[in-house]
Structure 1
């Protein structure tokens, strides 16, 4: 018999950014908080969503926009879901086939992961193929309501490519991306690690750009929690948030990266070589055979308030749902998106630890060009840089203006 005060089951997908949940269990941070944390590896984001809805999981490693989509009624069999914590910043990349990369190089693509150079080159390739009557390029993303879908579309649109006209976007689970690229089923994909590194190491593709360059310090995965369970088990949830925060601190230490990569490589977790985990953890990203690029903020598990559930992040994702025709914009829908993220629960759980807690619930996204000390409760807090590659800003207090200013899906 377990002497844990709380038993919590959490679903996750085999991705590097499940690291915080995995470390919370494997390094006993959950046990120290009185939690028996059962981690269940799943095969798709739809399974994560559905098993949370039917009560198999109380919490889950989730795509940051997915709980918003659940609460907006955009997904079948969705429970009311809250986000009391984020699970880090960044971690994604856009990888293309070697053949496509060669065409992009002919049009000015560079080896420095520049989103602008890669995007402009891709636009030229798309135009060239259209003139030749070739089929549209096919890119994979992991789910319609994913940061991957929105960052890929944002990047394409900012570079003059209309996602719904000029290319084809298909849905595929992340573990299949590298093989799909190698088989020719995809020309490119946007996914989390280690699947971009896998494509490189297997000789299937080339990393063209990364999320950390498209939108610096941007959100990716979150802890989703069944809202009813969270309301009736507030102490259990708070204990879990403390365990995950301590796990984030452990994951952030470079001295722990070799051990973390080894833990994640186990069949119960990512189930792939530890060597595939190391580039994202170190920021020393191998983009193709023999070429690496330093991306210090490729994956940020703890610094820059990386686990804080910013309402401005929720509203930016909502703005993209509106932009791409997934939901209509209304005051009520915006409120649902905003209230999905719960910084109040985060603060209540972590205040006893004396950690740096942002003084605000939202911020202007893209406004910090350099690392900037900000007001906080507890320890000192530094945010940024957090800029979008095209120089734009997202002010959550001007949501209507931002949505109106974006090009519509059909108005290119």
Structure 2
């Protein structure tokens, strides 16, 4: 692996495994090893996840004993049927039969905290503790458009979609997983860069990830954006193909986050840090190429994604057959769990997500983005956890900003001037202030 992937300070992990002669990590931590005064206030947490491969760090933290290693012996990792369900259960909290935290689309903690997507606009403060991955999503297109071999350029696809709309008199649909979420923003950006107005030319519809393939099969949508394994499953079922991986739109873009209710964090600071350390170690485990086949097998299990291993393992390893004749091995666009600072929750990335939510009218233009980020983003806890884990200095970013970001269409996002970026976008749907 490259230098910043790291074999990293998995020191404690390696020692634990070595003590058992290489036995599985799940059995390596039968006791609780916590420094005096740092014991968890509670050993329990209920964490939600959606059946996607970027939730793998939660699966691995459970299966390989990382939660137990850090004293969190009563963690429940619970499948959610949709992102809307995740939102609703976070609003409820575990005391009301909901959840304390989740694998979540990065913008959602902001949308829940502000009440933008909750019933009666109730505001429920949520903290982002870590990013779970970079990249790894795809945009797929139905076989109806196979001759076009749609890729990053959507101009010809736009013509085909508009022609279909005129011919049939029906709307054409692009599916995503949650309004204002990552998949919504990727497919909107991609379409708009080719001149498709996602609010006027087509319909954007919400479909839960696990239902994407079935809906494409019956013709409910023309294109969709989602994580794996649903894009590769679409190809295996001969229903459609992969147009682009989302890192082709924005290299190593931030994607899912690990987030907790703010009241849980406030009441249980040590437990929160223990959860965070477990997730970070699981991310390191997932990143290691030697573990990718095993991680894919874990993901395929019934309690997690419940999908054929064949639909998961290739892309987990970084091998992409787009279903169009294009094949890439060990692709640079593959998902990252730890390498390239994948785990660190850059505030500059949260600012981009907020700016895009302003672009599409999910948030008002006059919202105080800096104050909101300070309220939601807890990179300070990530740094504290990294220090306790002994993470190498090179794997801890010096700044809360990753700097200027460049996109496939030539657009540039400078975190120091988000308005300039917003002004440069031709297609948008700003909400009245």
Give TM-score, length-normalised by structure 2. 0.83
> 1:239 aligns to what?
274
How far off its partner does 1:275 sit? 1.4
Q: State which of 64, 78, 94 in structure 1 corresponds to 2:106.
A: 64
Native 8 Å contact 2:197 2:427 kept in 1: no
Q: 1:7 to 1:293 in 2, by over 3 A?
A: same
The structure richer in strand per residue is 1
Give TM-score, length-normalised by structure 1. 0.87
Matches within 5 A, 1:126-275: 126-129=161-164, 132=167, 134-275=169-310
Point out 4+ residue stretches in structure 1 off by more than 4 angstroms. 2-5, 130-134
Matches within 5 A, 1:1-400: 5=40, 6-36=43-73, 37-56=75-94, 57-77=99-119, 79-102=124-147, 104-105=148-149, 109=150, 114-116=151-153, 119-129=154-164, 132=167, 134-288=169-323, 291-294=326-329, 295-337=331-373, 339-355=375-391, 356-366=395-405, 387-400=406-419
CA distances 1:349-368 after superposition (whole Å, capped 9, x unpaired): 111223221111113242xx
Native 8 Å contact 1:264 1:271 kept in 2: yes
Native 8 Å contact 2:297 2:313 kept in 1: no
Distance 1:146 1:234 in 2: 28
Native 8 Å contact 2:346 2:379 kept in 1: yes
How far off its partner does 1:121 sit? 2.2
Native 8 Å contact 1:211 1:298 kept in 2: no
Distance 1:213 1:291 in 2: 14
Distance 2:363 2:380 in 1: 27
Q: 1:60 to 1:247 in 2, by over 3 A?
A: same
Distance 1:124 1:49 in 2: 36
Q: 1:174 to 1:59 in 2, by over 3 A?
A: same
Distance 2:416 2:375 in 1: 15
Match of 1:10, SS state, is strand
Distance 1:27 1:215 in 2: 32
Structure 2 portions without partners, runs of 5+: 1-29, 33-39
Match of 1:397, SS state, is coil
CA distances 1:251-271 after superposition (whole Å, capped 9, x unpaired): 111111221111111111000
Distance 2:85 2:161 in 1: 34
| 1:406 is aligned to 2:425 | yes
Q: 1:130 to 1:86 in 2, by over 3 A?
A: same
> 1:369 aligns to what?
none
Q: 1:410 to 1:142 in 2, by over 3 A?
A: closer
Question: RMSD across aligned C-alpha pairs, in angstroms?
Answer: 2.0
Native 8 Å contact 1:63 1:145 kept in 2: no
Distance 1:3 1:9 in 2: 21
Match of 1:196, SS state, is helix
Match of 1:164, SS state, is coil
Match of 1:403, SS state, is helix
CA distances 1:228-257 after superposition (whole Å, capped 9, x unpaired): 111121111111111111111111111112
Native 8 Å contact 2:52 2:229 kept in 1: yes
CA distances 1:272-304 after superposition (whole Å, capped 9, x unpaired): 111111122111112217652343332111101
CA distances 1:83-115 after superposition (whole Å, capped 9, x unpaired): 01010101110101101232x24xxx4xxxx41
